[in-house]
Structure 1
């Protein structure tokens, strides 16, 4: 039976790969993004653009559109987020707030609002995108790593909160993802060692599957090229 799947940040490189993976499984996929429009949507996908996921009212409106179309929510994949490399000396304190908003508050807001529907599902799944870089932050990674560490703690706390329900909560912790933007920022790097978006999508699809029903509260590194 087709599941109702939401992918936030679904217009980006990783979000696109995740949406395509679920669509290939025959699921109903809704892509929600801050951008007004995305690339070509996977067959059957439902796109909702221009949504500020830090705004509860705007997020609820988007969820209502998904419910009107799909009738429920089975899987929520929180891909939406951002990145900055900035040292503290000479950097902007506002960057710390911006990273918290983009990476943590977006996930917390839509997850809180989607929980009633996810708990109705017999196969409720929440998968967050953490970061390997949040395990130990390098120079210039403080603001980003702090926000992604928050995603890790959200994952652990919510998994325990939802003990006894059908909903599992996990996060994947990728190393550097092979995207055009990352290649442009690091042109001298060995791209062969970077993680492919499709490889990440495969791990997410597994965590959303019935075979992963006993896994909750896990922070799973995804570090090989794929």
Structure 2
């Protein structure tokens, strides 16, 4: 990972920060993109880190400007990690129908816009990589998971279609499919759960970075379950 330029969307969140810190620890150069106004305390910083706050990746123009800025400042793009996304739990009967297009925008459109903007840069890399974050819930949706699972299923299909589109260019596209990630928000929502059975952000980050690395050259179009003991 040393010297590789890694672009991370959703970089200010719990998983984004775990990935960013792990990548920085391995010597990567980072572009940290997020819709939020500022990264949290302890976020990677320095000459090899470009912070791009207030970027709305549902807007193709903003996504393009962010990826171009990363390539210009850091000397190219070797990997795009699409971690930006959103979640909602609600039944169809009692929830808002607007949650369905909202989940699509936050999960599928952000990944599609960022990927589209990254493609010209990734094709110039010796080992271009895209890693998306899908969900195990999209394989079998549970109660209240319809809108979210449908959106993540879209991420899975985007991953597979883009892998076919880019395989002749040497750019791999894969996705991780986590179950419940051990975050403060999930602990607050499910205080009686067995947290040890969930997926630790650092463990999920390790799988993401493997897929983003040069040694994963033979893996593309894969949907990789990362489900802990759930």
Using the alignment, how far apart are the partners of 2:79 and 2:44 within structure 1? 17
- Aligned residue pairs total 225
Offset, 1:62 = 1.4
Q: What is the TM-score of this pair, normalised by structure 2?
A: 0.95
- Tell me which of 103, 120, 124 is aligned to 2:124: 120
Residue 215 of structure 2 is matched in structure 1 by 211
User: Is contact 1:41-1:47 (8 Å) kept?
Assistant: no
Q: Deviations over 1:1-33 (max 9, x none)?
A: 501110000000000000111111111011100
Residue 63 of structure 1 is matched in structure 2 by 67
Using the alignment, how far apart are the partners of 1:30 and 1:190 within structure 2? 34
Matched, 1:164 2:165: no
- Tell me which of 87, 90, 107 is aligned to 1:86: 90
Offset, 1:68 = 2.1
**Superposed counterparts of 1:66-145, under 5 Å:** 66-145=70-149
Matched, 1:180 2:181: no
Using the alignment, how far apart are the partners of 2:63 and 2:174 within structure 1? 21
- Tell me which of 41, 48, 52 is aligned to 2:43: 41
Using the alignment, how far apart are the partners of 2:193 and 2:221 within structure 1? 33
Residue 147 of structure 1 is matched in structure 2 by 151
> Which ranges of structure 1 fall in alignment gaps of 5 or more residues?
none
- The runs of 4+ residues in structure 1 deviating greater than 4 Å are none
Offset, 1:41 = 2.1
Offset, 1:201 = 0.6
Residue 10 of structure 1 is matched in structure 2 by 11
Using the alignment, how far apart are the partners of 2:121 and 2:67 within structure 1? 10
User: Is contact 1:77-1:128 (8 Å) kept?
Assistant: yes
> Which ranges of structure 2 fall in alignment gaps of 5 or more residues?
none
3-state SS, counterpart of residue 171 of structure 1: strand
3-state SS, counterpart of residue 96 of structure 1: helix
Using the alignment, how far apart are the partners of 2:37 and 2:188 within structure 1? 24
Offset, 1:64 = 2.3
Offset, 1:130 = 0.3
Using the alignment, how far apart are the partners of 1:173 and 1:76 within structure 2? 17
Residue 33 of structure 2 is matched in structure 1 by 32
